[in-house]
Amino acid sequence: MERAGSPPRRSTPLSSGVTLNVTTSTLSLTVADVDASRDFFRTHLGYEVAMAAEGFVSLSRGDAAADIVLLRSGSEVLPPEQRDQQAAGLILALTVSGIEAEERRLAAAGAPITMPLREEPWGERLFQLTDPNGVVVQLVEWATPDPAVAEDAPDAATGAATGVSDAVDTAAVDDAEAAVDTADEVDTVAAVDTAAVVDLPGGPGVPALSVITPTDENVTASPNARMTGLAAPSRGSAELSTWTVEMAAGQTGPEHVISREQVWTVTAGALEVSCGAVTEKVEAGRTFVLAPGVVRRIHAPEAAEAHVAMRADGVASVPGTDGTRALPWAR
């Protein structure tokens, strides 16, 4: 396991003037039952006891994973105001390799997996388990870039610039042909109704109108938002992708970059959009445009919904990491 909590980062110098030299990292947890947490970390995550005393255990793996100290609630070694405090919302994240195998191993061992394996749009693959004291452990693996996406993106950009519709990937063409053959055929991920098939500049047999009805299979839910895919190359659109975003009050997306311009229209509530040092609150009925290549973070100070449009070949990346990832709801 590697130390986690953020994506793998390139080596960069410390900020100017910072001379702090960190030699190891330790997470101290105050829990009601020290023995129960100790057994959990030893049995399921390979930690070993480095030191122990009454109401205290120090655990280590001997690799890049953070050391863990377990203290019994009420312990007098803590300041009085901290003795009965327990961390709320804390997640111990460990970056691993072979995350599918880890999930299978832990499930077979009867570990309490409280969130099954999932993949986020920005390339983070993760699942969670929870120890007997409520400590949440998240295992993470960063997905490698999809070579097909990287190869298709330049082709799609060229096609859009020259008006050649066959720059869309084969899957999109197949979907369009299937829609032409059967007007009311239901796509594997969405219902696409076509009408008035005519010869347009994009090529013979291109439908003049496609009506898309999203299904549950078009929904991608993450801890930070819920995206519902609408138009996309796999759902009747050759050039653009559109989707809706729903965020509960207090949810915040991660910092990320999109390779194409995005146009967001807030349809309910409000969103706070941060780009560098600039933050704008955009309320329902207003539209904001995010330029390609800029680092952005979106926060919902209240429950909010928005409609997003982007060129279909746009991909996402996370600052400080290599590679790009396609947006599943926009493909």
- Report the alpha-carbon distance of residue 312 to residue 53 in Å, rounded: 59
Nearest to 302 by CA among 266, 253, 269: 269
Q: DSSP 3-state assignment of 60?
A: strand
H-assigned helices in the chain: 34-45, 99-108, 147-162, 170-181
Residue 47, pLDDT score:
96
What was the pLDDT predicted at 298? 94
Check if the beta carbon of residue 133 is closer than 8 Å to that of residue 32: yes
| Selection from 316, 319, 231, 225 nearest residue 271 by Cα | 225
Its pTM stands at 0.47
Per-residue pLDDT of the chain (331 residues; tens, 9 = 90+): 544 444 554 445 555 577 888 888 899 999 999 999 999 999 999 999 999 998 899 999 988 889 999 999 888 777 888 878 776 678 999 999 999 999 999 999 999 999 999 988 788 899 999 999 999 999 999 876 554 444 444 443 344 333 333 433 433 334 434 433 433 333 334 555 544 444 455 555 567 788 888 888 888 888 889 999 998 888 878 889 999 999 999 999 888 999 899 999 999 999 999 997 889 999 999 999 999 888 999 999 999 999 999 998 888 888 877 778 888 888 8
- Going from the C-alpha of 255 to that of each of 6, 295, 313, the distances in angstroms are 11, 6, 20
DSSP 287-324: EEEE-TT-EEEEE-SS-EEEEEEEETT-EEE-TTS-S-
The topology (CATH level 3) of 2-7+23-142 is 2,3-Dihydroxybiphenyl 1,2-Dioxygenase; domain 1 (3.10.180)
How many CB atoms within 10 Å of residue 299? 18
What pLDDT score was predicted for residue 90? 85
Long-range contact pairs involving 286-289 (C-beta distance under 8 Å, separation at least 24): 287/263, 288/263, 288/264, 289/261, 289/262, 289/263, 289/264
Domain ranges of the chain: 2-7+23-142, 147-330
**Residue 195: what residue type?**
A
pLDDT of residue 100: 93
- Determine whether domain 147-330 maps to CATH 2.60.120.10: yes
